[in-house]
Structure 1
Amino acid sequence: MLKSVEVNVITSNENKFKELDSIAKKYNIKLKWINLPKFEVQSDSLEEIVRSSAVIAFNMIRSPLIVEDSGLFIEALNNFPGPYTNYVRRTLGLKGILKLMEGIQNRKAYFMTALCYVDEEVIRVFTGKVVGKISESIRGDKGFGFDPIFIPDGDERTFGEMNIEEKNKYSHRGKAFEEFIKFFLTYIS
């Protein structure tokens, strides 16, 4: 019999919480959104960033939690912006990335997520990746971040043109969270 466990999701981004919660409900896992900014070390590694952030958050709230970080890696830009995606989105934005991509034929890119679960006994990192390309223009008003310029392989729409359920079929965040769920359901039983 499964223990009833609530897992806190530490993020200031409500959209990230909604994506994870949409998946968690399928497994009867209760998530609680805690609107805290994560404390980030500067690193080229998403895994290192989330592990450090999760440990800091756990030491503050002393309750099982998840911290997630994602990056957009564009091949023609030497995998820029990578772990600096949030900063680049705030400073250059969608139009700035499209400007950097003007005249570039190679539009291959991928999104990567690292998600860290921490409780009093374990620290575990899970990853997910979705391969695709950068669109020629901003398309769609759903999602957040760089969703309106990223087209996952296997679809012609940007993430910005998909609802949460459609995006979760491809999503890097969804893949990392599914890996967490496989672990978690065994871990709590």
Structure 2
Amino acid sequence: MRRLTDTRLVVATGNKGKLEEMRALLEPRGIGITSNADHGLPEPEETENTFLGNARIKAHAAAKALGLPALADDSGIEVEALDGAPGVRTADWAETPNGRDFLVAMERTHDALVASGAPEPWRARFVSVLVLAWPDGHEESFRGEVNGRVIWPPQGVLGHGYDPIFIPDGHERTFAEMTAEEKNALSHRGASIRAFEAACLG
């Protein structure tokens, strides 16, 4: 396992919600975080069918372009009754002619669950896969998951993405009803970041 010795790290994303979460988790470790937008980098096309594959694309593209270590997250929600959908296509379910709208994505998920006839509780899990890439092509990867259930209607106004319809196991509030600190302690991305910290930061 290669350790990260550089104090600068590019988080290869254009997703503001992800960036805020990763900054909150990593900046206390003394790491200066920048993003694709800070460097004017376009987002590469995500052509793989796995979280790991797409995280690799994003991390290596940024590391190669900037000559700095780059950390990329690919994540999504897998709903059991929908055979794991939307999964790696989670963000695609939010696409509209005017950009991404996650209320549309949540409604689409709910409509698919109703059409499936699956009884509640609707079991689901959030998955986050991180890839840390160096300019020389080396990489390390980390995975975090959190199990829970999808509910309807949406509850809460915090967080981002599908947070208003996901309640993690052992809790009665959605991620969107939790503070950032509460969510990060439980979430898939919090778990993958902690795995990265343990392995590469010590």
The two structures have a TM-score, normalised by structure 2, of: 0.84
The alignment-based identity, stated in percent, is 32
Larger deviation, residues 45-54 vs 35-44: 35-44
Give the length in aligned residue pairs. 185
**What is the one-letter code of the residue matched to 1:146?**
Y
Instruction: Spell out, residue by residue over 1:97-141, the C-alpha distance to the aligned partner (whole angstroms, 9 max, x if none).
Output: 112222532400001011111113531111110100001211111
Larger deviation, residues 124-133 vs 103-112: 103-112
* Structure 1, unaligned runs of 5 or more: none
**What is the one-letter code of the residue matched to 1:93?**
A
Instruction: Give the structure 1 partner of residue 87 of structure 2.
Output: 82
**What is the one-letter code of the residue matched to 1:5?**
T
Aligned counterpart in structure 2 of residue 177 of structure 1, from 193, 197, 202 = 193
Q: After TM superposition, which residue ranges in structure 1, 4 or more long, deviate above 4 angstroms?
A: none
Instruction: Give the structure 1 partner of residue 111 of structure 2.
Output: 99
The answer to whether the 8 Å contact 2:79/2:123 transfers is: yes
Inter-partner Cα distance in structure 2 for 1:164 and 1:37: 28
* Structure 2, unaligned runs of 5 or more: 97-103
Once the two structures are superposed, the pairs formed by residues 117-156 of structure 1 within 5 Å of their partners are 117-121=132-136, 122-156=138-172
Inter-partner Cα distance in structure 2 for 1:157 and 1:138: 11
Larger deviation, residues 38-47 vs 157-166: 38-47
3-state secondary structure, aligned to 2:86: strand
Inter-partner Cα distance in structure 2 for 1:87 and 1:4: 34
Aligned counterpart in structure 2 of residue 10 of structure 1, from 9, 12, 17 = 12
The answer to whether the 8 Å contact 1:40/1:50 transfers is: no
Larger deviation, residues 73-82 vs 118-127: 118-127
